[in-house]
Amino acid sequence: MRFMRSTPGASGRSQTLFAITRCLPFLVLAAVLSLELSPAHTLYTGPLLSPAPALAAVTMGPAGTGGTAGLAGGVSAITATHHHAWGGQQVYANLLALLVVAVASVATSAVRVRREHELTRIRRIAEVSQNVVLRPLPARMGVVNTASVYMAAERGAQIGGDLYEAMCTRYGVRLIVGDVRGKGLAAVRSAAAVVGAFREAVHYERDLTEVMRRCAAALAREYELLDRSELRDPLELEEQFVTVLLAQVPDDSTVQLINRGHPPPLVVRHRTVRALCPVRPLPPLGLEEFLGPHPIRVESFPFLPGDRLLLHTDGVIEARNRCNEFFPLHQTMERLDATTPSEYLDRLRHALLRHAEGRLADDAAMVLVERTAARAEQPSP
């Protein structure tokens, strides 16, 4: 389950506003024609015709804008003929003003349409790039049922650095959730490097710490290849890092975690929510100089059949309402009740969007895993 928009009601409102804006030039022309053909024709309505092409250029292409300008010229001709005004300077002045506005509006409309097409292509490329990092998760993997959701903040064509993945391996189900500092292409490249290393290492590395080491090494190589020109500020390269949480769900009733600066996961047991905080906090990937002399260790926590584990990015807990209050994730999860992980995560998503009033300040990703009583049969390779 994946959602790419954070404002489900915005689409209907935008369509209504678009329809009203598109009809506005024709309403203006109809009003002018009605006034000129009525006893109220003494009102001076000529200047009202010139804005019609400009209004049309907001929502129409060059052809529609030119057609609206032609209608405005026709209305001007009809009213001039009706009032026997041909030969007067005012009529020709109105037509000249209409012609100038029409030419400018058609040119503006052509530029706008071309830019919209370019933006559409960029957004499609962005979605493909994001899909490389955020592939849909299967509903059942080994000893867990899974569900995932991704909600993009409204940032035009920009794409974020949230990442997640889950793989069923001979060591158990392994998951990763992370968040790259920054936005845009550089963030997606960093996220892709980490996820690519994870997808490769989880099948060959028995030790979860080695999987984390491979992810850190891949990110370091990516930063070495990263072109500083792709950053808005070249100094940002010195501040790049990725918060990462690795989880492993073996066949026994535990979950093993390595947390590198990421929000701790939450385990739900009988509607009681508990954060699985690390004993010794570790810095994010990319800040290895702050690791210190102590080795990275895997921490184990109880994870019983029926328990649910939520892995999420900071866009969830940092979502605010108009009163500047953070989303109460713990309390919300304790109130929710659903039979399947997919339903549970869907209700959690709706609660998050209601709290943020449909607008998220940052991208948000969530992965929910539920331990089952027995291991699912895996298809043969």
Q: Which residue has the higher pLDDT, 321 or 13?
A: 321
Tokens found for residue 65: 């804008």
Q: What is the pLDDT of residue 77?
A: 79
Q: What is the pLDDT of residue 102?
A: 85
**CB neighbour list of residue 230: distance below 8 Å, 6 or more residues apart:** 184, 185, 186
Average pLDDT (250-271) is 92
Q: Which residue has the higher pLDDT, 81 or 377?
A: 81
Average pLDDT (12-18) is 72
Coil, strand or helix: which one is 242?
strand
Distance CA 317, CA 315 (A): 6
Coil, strand or helix: which one is 147?
strand
- Are 180 and 190 spatial neighbours (Cβ–Cβ below 8 Å)? yes
Q: What is the pLDDT of residue 228?
A: 53
Distance CA 211, CA 217 (A): 10
Q: Residue 249: name the closest of 105, 377, 369, 374 by CA.
A: 369
* Ramachandran quadrant class, 101 (left: phi over 0; alpha: psi -120 to 50; beta: rest): alpha
134-371 belongs to CATH 3.40.50.300: no
Residue type, 98: L
Instruction: Identify the residue whose tokens are 């959701």.
Output: 149
Q: What is the pLDDT of residues 172-198, one digit of tens each?
A: 999 999 998 876 677 778 888 999 999
**CB neighbour list of residue 106: distance below 8 Å, 6 or more residues apart:** 53, 57, 62, 65, 66, 69
First to last CA, the chain: 25
Distance CA 85, CA 92 (A): 10
Backbone angles phi, psi at 126, to 5 degrees: -65, -40
Q: What is the pLDDT of residue 31?
A: 79
DSSP string, 214-234: HHHHHHHHHHHH--GGGSSSG
Burial class (CB in 10 A: 0-12, 13-18, 19+), 272: exposed
Q: Which residue has the higher pLDDT, 33 or 261?
A: 261
Using the predicted structure, report yes or no on whether residue 260 has a pLDDT greater than 90.
yes
Burial 286-313 (b: 16+ CB within 10 A, else e): bbeeeeeeeebeeeebebeeebbbbbbb
Most confident of 42-51, 74-83, 114-123, 252-261: 252-261
Q: What is the pLDDT of residues 97-124, one digit of tens each?
A: 888 888 888 899 889 888 888 888 877 7
Q: What is the dihedral of CA 183, 11, 368, 319, to 10 degrees?
A: 60
Instruction: Identify the residue whose tokens are 């493909």.
Output: 128
Pairing mode of beta strands 242-249, 266-269: unpaired
Backbone angles phi, psi at 206, to 5 degrees: -70, -40
Q: What is the pLDDT of residues 71-98, one digit of tens each?
A: 888 877 777 776 666 666 677 777 788 8
Count CA atoms within 13 Å of residue 161 on its CB side.
23
Angle (nearest 5°) at CA 327 between 258 and 336: 85
Helix extents (H) in 135-283:
184-201, 208-225
Q: What is the pLDDT of residues 291-309, one digit of tens each?
A: 877 788 899 999 999 999 9
Using the predicted structure, report yes or no on whether residue 149 has a pLDDT greater than 80.
yes
Hey, how many other C-beta atoms are within 10 angstroms of the C-beta on 48? Answer: 17
Average pLDDT (347-374) is 87
Instruction: Identify the residue whose tokens are 């929510």.
Output: 273
Distance CA 134, CA 138 (A): 12
Distance CA 313, CA 187 (A): 15
Q: To which H or E segment does residue 301 belong?
A: strand 299-302
Hey, how many other C-beta atoms are within 10 angstroms of the C-beta on 373? Answer: 8
